[in-house]
Amino acid sequence: MAAPETVNLLIKARWIVPVVPENRVFENCALAIRGGVIQALVPQSEADKRFEAEQVINLGNHVLMPGLVNAHGHAAMSLLRGIADDLPLKEWLHDHIWPAEGQWVNEDMVRDGTELAMAEMIRSGTTCFSDMYFFPEQAAQAAQQAHMRAQIAFPILDFATAWGSGPEEYFRKGLALHDDFRASNLITVGFGPHSPYTMSDEPLKRVATLAQELDAPIHIHLHETAKEVAESLEQHGKRPTQRLADLGLLSPLTQCVHMTQVDDTDVALLSESGAHVVHCPESNLKLASGFCPVQTLLDAGINVALGTDGAASNNDLDLMSEMKTAALLAKAVSGRAEALDAHSALRMATLGGARALGLEDQIGSLEVGKAADITAVELSELAAQPVYNPVSQLVYTNSGHRVTHVWVAGRAVLLSRQLQTLNERELIGKSRWWRQQISQ
């Protein structure tokens, strides 16, 4: 009889939803993890015979799933949560958010705000997030230190901000950051051109060229409002997607955030280019920006990921809640009750995000050889009963607060609801200090 294989961690659970293969739920199985990588998904009886684990965790009332991928946000804006609610996008941005950022955004604010955001995301099951904000060096360092996986898209705009004087400085600093984290197994650095309406053609062309040379992602707000599309038609004679395509900016490296204003030509361009869409339903609803036609995009073979946007416009970073909203909204927009079923919504929040970020070979599903980015959700409380279908409970019953354990590359960042790499009490204290400064 062969000697047992040694592994670092064996997690036994009532249910495991691996996402790949699709639409499957495994009962009374276990995940074996060694070196931060998934070695096996097998029945618990087999796991006991086959593996000798340094640590065994029994989760008899839980579902194990891939860690959620929050494919769009502005993490540091968690410190601006609630300062300008119930306003249309242009007024919210121009009259409130940009002035507040101009006064308060600095390295300390970005570091503290990013840590607050990561703590909230971890506690609700997110293991990987995409961030686009000023002082991206601070966000990258904070994520690395907290052992959280992140895509950091350094911002590029035509005009000066707290982080730089204009495109030249943004490119210089951003490319240096890309080099600094080139060897990181957790941090990916990409390009963050803010939007077509804040950028002229030449910097956008440069983004397209450099992204292809470096095989680096491009993260951009696109078709967020009807006004954006109308102004593009007036100024450039074409819709924003067509303008980006003509500039070489639409490719499998491109992550198109929002896409609430979509017609058949946009769908064709996205499909032909291989670009991804990042859907932020709750932020779009709160700002009355419009509705992303998710099912139409999926039917056209376009990959759709899920994001929360920043806490200043959402106002939370709970991707579980976002899954429910996305599923319900897809049904209403398409007029089809079967649109974006529970398994599809979960896949969008995991593997869809991984694909958009170029990380599909590493995360997004619980497959042998992938990183052990795992979330455990307890389904024993009253509001989760009875459990006929654990995936339905995950998507439709507000499961964010039921997350108990989270691992990133096999390392626990949340154990029994306790943060392991971030100090909750310290973060609350810092947040209150920032509130006092900003509200003066």
Nearest to 66 by CA among 298, 403, 334: 403
Asked if 413 and 148 touch (Cβ cutoff 8 Å), the reply is: yes
Percent of the chain with pLDDT over 70: 100
Asked if 290 and 262 touch (Cβ cutoff 8 Å), the reply is: no
Q: Given a cut of 90, is residue 440 above it in pLDDT? A: no
| pLDDT computed for residue 88 by the predictor | 83
Three-point CA angle 253, 64, 355, nearest 5°? 5
User: Rounded to whole angstroms, how far apart are CA atoms 83 and 375?
Assistant: 31
User: Rounded to whole angstroms, how far apart are CA atoms 229 and 196?
Assistant: 10
Whole-angstrom Cα Rg for the chain: 21
For domain 68-356, the CATH superfamily is Metal-dependent hydrolases (3.20.20.140)
Fold of 5-66+372-409: Urease, subunit C; domain 1 (2.30.40)
* 168 three-state secondary structure: helix
Q: Given a cut of 70, is residue 130 above it in pLDDT? A: yes
Q: Which amino acid is at 63?
A: V
Query: Tens of pLDDT along 221-250?
Result: 999 999 999 999 999 999 999 999 999 999
- When the pLDDT of each residue in the chain is averaged and rounded to a whole number, the result is 97
> DSSP states of 304-358 as a string?
EEE----TTSSS---HHHHHHHHHHHHHHHHT-TTSS-HHHHHHIIIIIHHHHTT
* Both tokens assigned to 290: 């419009």
Specify the domain boundaries for CATH 3.20.20.140 within the chain.
68-356
User: Rounded to whole angstroms, how far apart are CA atoms 68 and 351?
Assistant: 9
Three-point CA angle 303, 142, 76, nearest 5°? 70
- Residues 6 or more apart from 45 whose CB is under 8 A from it? none
| pLDDT computed for residue 1 by the predictor | 61
Residue recorded with tokens 């730089």? 164
Helices (H), 147-259: 167-180, 201-214, 226-236, 240-246
Q: Given a cut of 70, is residue 348 above it in pLDDT? A: yes
Asked if 31 and 40 touch (Cβ cutoff 8 Å), the reply is: yes
Query: Tens of pLDDT along 243-296?
Result: 999 999 999 999 999 999 999 999 999 999 999 999 999 999 999 999 999 999
Query: Tens of pLDDT along 40-79?
Result: 999 999 999 999 999 999 999 999 999 999 999 999 999 9
Specify the domain boundaries for CATH 2.30.40.10 within the chain.
5-66+372-409
